[in-house]
Amino acid sequence: MQIKIHRGINQIGGCITEIKSKKARILIDVGTNLPNCERNVKVNVSKISKKCDAVFISHYHLDHLGEYMEVKKEVPIYIGEQAKEVFTIYQKRMKEPKIAEVTQAHIDRVKKFKTFKSDVSIEIGDIKITPIRVDHSAFDSYMFLIESDKKKILHTGDFRTHGPLGKELPNILEQIGKVDALICEHTTLSRLDETFVSELELQEKAINLIQSSKYIFIMCASTNIDRIASFYHANKKAGTKLFICDDYQKDILDYITETSKKYKGYYDFSEVKSFDSGLYKDMVTKGFCMLVRSNYFSKKFIQSPNFKKNIFIYSQWLGYLEGNNADDSIAKFVPKDYVYLHTSGHATAKGITEVCHIVKPDVIIPIHGENSHDFDKLNLPYKIKHLKNQKTFNI
């Protein structure tokens, strides 16, 4: 098999990987560059998807999916079942005026996406692709095991081992065993001095915060379901406050509740309330945790004199508030006295090392990180191939 990283070397996001066998050719992810990405590697997705047999999407973050409209229409695009629906709800929201440049054509294309299930293999020519569900800040995210001509490639997508589903990954990988090549994300390796709490530890910290004030505003990504679950369960453990969101968020959480029953209630958001005027009195008297976003709807609650004594929890990447990647709408919305409570959606050095030792790859190809040589810091006993974008590697 041949591996070509069209984009994703020495940069976070914008990932596009090509796998070619004797009889088939697939792409994994067709992401856009993140805003203010310094490398700005240009890829003609329409051109590279020509004569492509299929595209597989690891998850719905735009740095892995954003160029789906450029994929040739005759080429099937595969994504997880729940990921497809969550992304559809998100796109419908973005189609609203003054939010984003999303049209009905975008939504219609997403509706045509094919879906896969975890551990159920799909054969494309002489390539067998097995999706492996992983923990990430996008719900229903996947690694891919790619097999052809007695060779095995594991593409990690974005993953972590410190979330609620992360503890299952080692056992799954043990069953896969040794691979010939590991294409591995390494987002966090550029900041080894940073401490990452687990999602469970974050939840425990949230309980104390929620108990310390009657009115709690929480800003986190609307599609980071595990983070919302952390705050939701923390609120239930903390007392009797309402848990409130807007209609858009409620649509996502209702869908997750209905389709995630196998997780024994962890993703049961049935007690979440979508705001209406009849709730206002209970909000004042009982207190609440409210999921907010940088818009007028949320701002009017935060500025209400009835909720003046509140705690604002910011649970997203700090880069949105300051630096080259700052988002003005978020930076202006978040109050100066916010409480930061967040953990990464990406694997720590420990998590990456654990995966490498389980699958014992003949070669590691780093992607989705600021500098591929950050991988060298782990001192792993495996060959590391520092590819350049658009260069081919044979296994």
List of residues 6+ apart from 295 with CB closer than 8 A: none
Residue with tokens 């989705």: 368
Per the structure block, which two tokens stand in for 136? 């990430």
Question: Quick check: helix, strand or coil at residue 377?
Answer: helix
List of residues 6+ apart from 302 with CB closer than 8 A: 217, 292, 310, 312, 335
Identify whether the C-beta of residue 355 lies closer than 8 Å to the C-beta of residue 380: no
Calpha distance 261→275 (Å, rounded): 25
Per the structure block, which two tokens stand in for 177? 């065993």
Calpha distance 167→394 (Å, rounded): 32
Query: Residue 120: exposed, middle, or buried by beta-carbon count in 10 A (0-12, 13-18, 19+)?
Result: exposed
Could you tell me the CATH superfamily of domain 2-192+345-394? Ribonuclease Z/Hydroxyacylglutathione hydrolase-like (3.60.15.10)
pTM here is 0.96
Per-residue confidence in pLDDT tens, the chain, 395 aa? 999 999 999 999 999 999 999 999 999 999 999 877 777 789 999 999 999 999 999 999 999 999 999 999 999 999 999 999 999 999 999 998 878 889 999 999 999 999 999 999 999 999 999 999 999 999 999 999 999 999 999 999 999 999 999 999 999 999 999 999 999 999 999 988 888 999 999 999 999 999 999 999 999 999 999 999 999 999 999 998 999 999 999 999 999 999 999 999 999 999 999 999 899 999 999 999 999 999 999 999 999 999 989 999 999 999 899 887 788 999 999 999 999 999 999 999 999 999 999 999 999 999 999 999 999 999 999 999 999 999 999 99
Architecture of domain 199-340: 3-Layer(aba) Sandwich (3.40)
Q: Which of 225, 237, 208 is nearest to 313 (CA)?
A: 208
Residues carrying CATH 3.40.50.10710, the chain: 199-340
Question: Quick check: helix, strand or coil at residue 348?
Answer: coil
Residues carrying CATH 3.60.15.10, the chain: 2-192+345-394
For residue 348, CA distances in Å to 100, 161, 362, 378, 391 come to: 32, 8, 22, 11, 27
- The residues pairing with 20 across neighbouring beta strands, listed in sequence order, are 2, 25
- The residues pairing with 7 across neighbouring beta strands, listed in sequence order, are 16
Element (H, E) at 234: helix 225-238
Q: Which pLDDT does position 300 carry in this prediction?
A: 93
Identify whether the C-beta of residue 234 lies closer than 8 Å to the C-beta of residue 266: no
